[in-house]
Structures are given as C-alpha cells and as structure tokens.
Structure 1
C-alpha cells in the first residue's frame, strides 16, 4: 500500500495563503445584489467570472469539478457557483452532498476540538505536552535539521499545546523533513493523510504505524527539527493532537470528533472511513501530469473505504460542502449555531486568533506576515485552511461570510486555480460595485 502523508505537497506560500485570502478581498459582499437568486442555490449569474473559471476547467476536462459555496452568518442556506461531475468522464453531477477528501481542512476541526478540551478545563493553552504524554518530557533537538540523529542538544523549553496548534513545536513532517530525520519518519511509519490503495510513481510505500498511540510513542523517540517556540515549520503536530485528545478526554480520537462536534452539528457525512452505503457520493481524486488528470484515488476503489491505521487529525477526513459549512457556521457563531452552544465564545475567539509565540521567527516561512491559530491561518479577521487536493475554506468575521472552494486534484500547484479564483472574485465584485453605483445614481 502506498500510504504516505501527501498533504500540501508542492504548495508554496503564494498558492496556499493568497488563495486563502480570497474572502478577505470580498469587501463589498455584504451589499451583494443577489436579487431573485437570493433563495437559489446556484448564483452563477451574479458571479460570471467565477462561473466562467469553473466552466473553463471543467469543460476542458482539466478537473472533474470546480464548485464554490458561500453562506452568510447563521443562515443555513448555501449559495453555489460552478459544478462538474464526480469523475472526469462521469455523469453524476456534484452538489452540496458530494464527498471530497478534505486533507488539511481537517486541521481546524482538530484545533477546535482542542479548544473544547481547554473549555472543559482538561487542558490549558500553555500546558507542557509532557503533562499529557510523558514520553515528550526530555526532548532532544537536532543541531542541523538535515544532520545525523545523534548530533543533538537538549530542548531549551518544553513543547506546549500552543506550539502544537501553531506548528511551532519543532516537529518534522514527511513533506518538510530532510536527511536522516525524513528517513526515520518513513521507517517508523509516521504518516498523516492517505492518497491511494495502489503504488504511486515517485512515492516510496510507507508502512504506517499500527495505531495512533504507537505512532505517538515512535514520534517521541525522535529528535526535533528546531527548538520549540523558535520557528514555524509545517509539521505533524496536529496529528499528534489527536492523541492528546484521546488521553485528555478518555475517548478515542474519532469518537470524540463524532460525539462532540459531528453529531451535535448534524455533520452526518464527515468520516475518516466512508461507509459502503455512501460510496456512490465520493469524488475521484486526480494526479495532474503534464496538464492531464489521471486517477490517483478512483471513487470505485478509494483508500477512504478502508479504516486508517492512524486516524489523522492533520489530514484524514472526508466531508461534504454542506457538512463543512456547518462547522464554519459554528465558527462564525462563536461556538453557537442552531440555538445550541458547543463551545464558549472565548474558546472560539482565542482559537481563531493569532497564537504564534512572540519568540517565533516567521522570516522565510509560509506564515511570514500572517498569523496562525488553532489549526488554521488567522489574518485580518479571517480563519481557515486549504487541503492538498485543491479544497479551501475560510470564514470572514468582518463580513460574517463563510466560503469554500471544492475540487479534487493533486498537487494544488499543478493549476493556478486559487489565484485565478481570487482574481475572478475581484472582477465580479468590481462589476457589482459599478452596477450598484449606477443604480444609486
């Protein structure tokens, strides 16, 4: 089995964070003239450039689907633009209940689960990790992040929950580590998200650790890449938080997510293993080679039909546009949605704020000029994250807007969809402003 963390492979800061900023650019959306389309799902007429972008990629069969969703505050109604089918040559059209592999869009969900445990008094933000998992009590740090594993110095400060939430713990990742540390991650099966049941050219098969507890023990046996609270490095820290949730709550990770978040929110189509009865709703995931999509995880034989060896809090979930929007409504509602409060307002406010320690140097990292909260980017009143297969979601507290972009291909930089999407939004908004000014005159 080719089972390797591929999440955010080949993503640059430009691709991820410029794309993630698209909601912040929508400054005029609060006065958007939906008109008769206000109660419609498809509002493509109001967004001609976004609709044209989706049509271009889908009609040229560069992707099977390109589907955008927008919602306002606590209004459960979702507006949609674009579309496509489950597979490039398929007939079944995507909709709000189509199942996508969301990969790292799992991270904000895990982050908010941690904030719930802080709410419960079972954790604190600056609590040392070794209070929860003693194996991390005396960590060593590589002198050279790419050097030999026995050339280390003691960690100057303990890893904390804050560090794990913000990728500042000094941990590595299969997609960021190099040299002996990378080989150790591979040898010990320290995987995150899954790609395919079949081998993928260029990716060596990695046998995953047999469970999250063993995965955690093996991770604790390795040195850190950097001293904690000194550098932002995209890492496996959110996966590790899945084990923290298990120890602190007394529940296994997936059960906690189901009982504390998914069931209360009505997220009935979000899983790490897609049930057999729902296989017909899953998209096919594509690898882009020379501009052509080739099935890397076909919906007929997806790895997401298998129970994962290691449930990944950093990249393991499959979900739908409708389900993920319910999570976004919780964020915009500051912990309350549908008249039910699941988290305190303070927990959401803190979790969506910039939690990066002041001692961290962001120079030259993906986060330079940005902030990072509980598993997601926090910047100028927006909070969210993207996934390795092209998905993207964010909420904008300034506008009361929630939005997401849905497609399924890897790597995300194979196409400039996210940058083109933001440009299309800007063009549509400029036209809307001009029409509104004309009407006012």
Structure 2
C-alpha cells in the first residue's frame, strides 16, 4: 500500500505520529500487546500505516504490513454484505421468515423458564426474519456470554465450536432443538445470527460459503489473503494470538502455526475469517465509495445506505434495546443496522467519530470504522483476547480526529 503525505489529505502529520508513539509507549513496550498494524486513510489514500511490535513473541517474528490476522467478528460485515448481494438479485426479502429456507425452524419457541435440557417455552409472537438475523434481534445467543441458561446450553452442546467434521448444517440442526432467548424483534442480543446468514448464503446461492465469498467478493475486490483456511505458503505470515494470565503477562493461546486454519470445514460467517490490513482496507474503501472499488461494483449505494442506517425499533440505541452486556461496541449513542453498528448520537457515545459512522470489531481486539462525512477509514489489527481488555477504539478515535485539519 502506498502511503502519501498526510498533509495532502487534511491530516496533521505530527498528531498522526502520536498514534504510533502512544501504541508503543503504552502497549507494546510494556508487553500489553504483542504488536499492531494501524491504518488511517482519507479520500481513498493512506495517510498513516504504522507497523510495530511482533506477530509472534516466541519466535521473535516482526509484525509486517502483510501479517495475517484472525479478524473474528469483523467477518460479520463481510458476510452481511455477501448476503445482501443476493438480496439485490431478488432472491429473498428481508422480512421473509427464516423457516422459508430452514424448514426445521418453523416451530421455534421462546424460553420462559427451566434449564437445559428441560425448558418451558411459549410460541414466538412472530417468526424470525432474515432482517432479525442481520440486526441481531433473532433471539439467538452465544455460548461465551454466560448470562442465561441458554448460553449454558450452547456451551454444553458445543454449538458453533468447530470439532473435526462439524459443519454449518450441524449447527442449524442443533439450534432447531433449542428455544430462543426472546421473541424475534423484541430485543437485541449478540449471537450466532451471522453464522446462520452464512448458511443461508449457501442455501440461496447453491455454493459453499468460501466459494461464494471468493467468487463474488474477495476475487473482485482483490482481497488475496482473506479466507477461512490458510494456504501452506502463507502460514509463516499468520500472527499468533494472545491473552493475559493472572500476572498480566501475554500468553499464546493460538499458535500462528496452528493447523486448524488449514483444513477446517466449519465456515463461521460470524467469526471465522483471516485477513490483512490491506485486504480489509479494500473492503472498507468499497463501503465508503458506495459499493464500488476500482470500477467494480459489489453492492448498490442505496443498499449500503440502508444497511448502515439504524434498524433498531424506534431509532433507539443499544443501551435501550440490548438484552446482554457484551458486544464489540459501547451501547450508549450506538445503533445497529444490517451487519454494522452505527453512531447515532456522538455526544451520548462520548467518542469523536461523526454521526453516521459505521463500524465493528473482533474478539482479538481488531477494529475498524468508516466515516462517510470525513471520507475516512481507520483499521487497527492486533491479536489479544478478549477485545474488552483495553479501550483501543476510544483512544484511537480521540487521536485520529485530533489530526483532522
């Protein structure tokens, strides 16, 4: 990626330089993060590309601009865009019931009491729709939330946790046997919903999720390093993932040489992709430019405007509508669209990104946002779990917007 003089983009070079200084002094040198890659782009050109630290501490491997990262939930916007490409072909409606494509989900019910495996249930007030899956109002949940008896059931059954031979179809069959947390459309809860969208892509398109994404998204956008599995000749570029032990020392929890990324068959549209800063920048720039990049149209501009608007009922924020306490964003002043969180009240949110900015993050502390008002893209990559360890988004927002001249 070519980096230009940030002053030509209306970005103060001295202020931008503070981002790298901050990351090194506060996080990398004290051993709080292994390494990082930070990109700030405006008007489609890169004004800051800061590469620092290590991609693998044990092997003393330097971080590089083409390091491959587990982007976890930053897979969600990609899968959501991919599904909406099928929407633009008229192959489904957002208000179609999910059971149109997953017949065994026709009789889904809502948990009222009880614990696994003995739940008391009642019928849903209405069927789950594809819109519910896109905006996380489906009633599904995640095993790691640890806030309800249903979360426990997901953990007990290992739903969405890829064992050898486990596929999206297995996940769908398991979920058919469990109730929902709430009636669809009545609350917001972070969940496996986007993994279900990946399964719908397979059903509607007739292709496997990896093949569909490669043919219709990664190939046309030139995202050469983004995939669910990693090729043997790229393994050396895969960063190791870390967490902090009781002494706050970084401990590797997923080695960069791990074979699970070479031949797995569970394709998690909600959290399974690997990518680089360069690839994800091409995806974000396509979003900023209304669905087009380098003359290739991926999605219509009206569709993207619709996806990045707030779809929570009554235009409320997540603080007022969310059920759980975890996601990849603060709740105050933040709405949720079709695959993206969006800034609906910057003052209430307390951070500086513009009204209408849209964004998300990943479990290993990766993050991005797109600010249409300022024509700005920011991407931060590292590998530290969980993402709630440090307020990296808030700190980066304050420093990036301070650089706007």
Classify the TM-score, shorter chain: 0.7 to 0.9
Q: Are 1:422 and 2:397 counterparts?
A: yes
Distance 1:29 1:174 in 2: 47
Tell me the distance in 2 between the aligned counterparts of 1:349 and 1:72.
19
1:329 paired residue among 279, 285, 309? 285
Whole-angstrom CA distance in 1 between matches of 2:47 and 2:274: 19
Q: Among residues 366, 375, 379, which one is paired with 2:339 in the alignment?
A: 375
| Residue number in structure 2 paired with 1:156 | 125
The offset of 1:226, in angstroms, is 0.6
Aligned to 2:33: 63
Structure 1 position 294 matched with structure 2 position 251: yes
C-alpha displacement at 1:271, in angstroms?
A: 1.1
For residues 219-271 of structure 1, the C-alpha deviation after alignment (integer angstroms, 9 at most, x for no partner) is 12210011110001111101111111111111111111111100000001011
* Superposition CA RMSD, Å: 2.5
| Contact 2:189 2:323 (8 Å CA) reproduced | no
Match of 1:130 among 82, 99, 109: 99
**Aligned mate of 1:413, from 358, 364, 388:** 388
Report the counterpart of residue 103 of structure 1 in structure 2: 72
Structure 2: tracts of 5 or more residues without a match: 1-6, 325-329, 344-354
* Equivalent position of 2:178 in the other structure: 222
Partner residue in 1 for 2:10: 31
Alpha-carbon offset, residue 145 of structure 1: 8.1
Match of 2:189 among 228, 233, 240: 233
Task: Tell me the equivalent position of 2:160.
Answer: 191
Structure 1: 5+ residue runs without aligned partners? 1-27, 35-44, 195-206, 434-441
Q: Which shifted more, 353-362 or 82-91?
A: 353-362
The whole-number CA distance in structure 1 between the counterparts of 2:217 and 2:201 is 13
* 1:175 aligns to 2:144 (yes or no): yes
Distance 1:292 1:174 in 2: 26
Aligned residue number for residue 87 of structure 1: 56
8 Å CA contact 1:383–1:396 kept in 2: the answer is yes
Q: Could you state the TM-score of these two structures normalised by the residue count of structure 2?
A: 0.86
Given that residues 142 and 153 in structure 1 are in contact (C-alpha distance below 8 angstroms), is that contact kept between their aligned partners in structure 2?
yes
Tell me what 2:360 maps to: 385
Q: Which gives a bigger RCO, structure 1 or 2 (Cα 8 Å, sep 6+)?
A: 1
Which protein has the bigger strand share?
Answer: 2
Using the alignment, how far apart are the partners of 2:237 and 2:308 within structure 1? 31
TM score, norm. by length of structure 1: 0.79
With 169-178 and 319-328 compared, the bigger mean Cα shift is at: 169-178
**Number of equivalences:** 378
Matched, 1:247 2:247: no
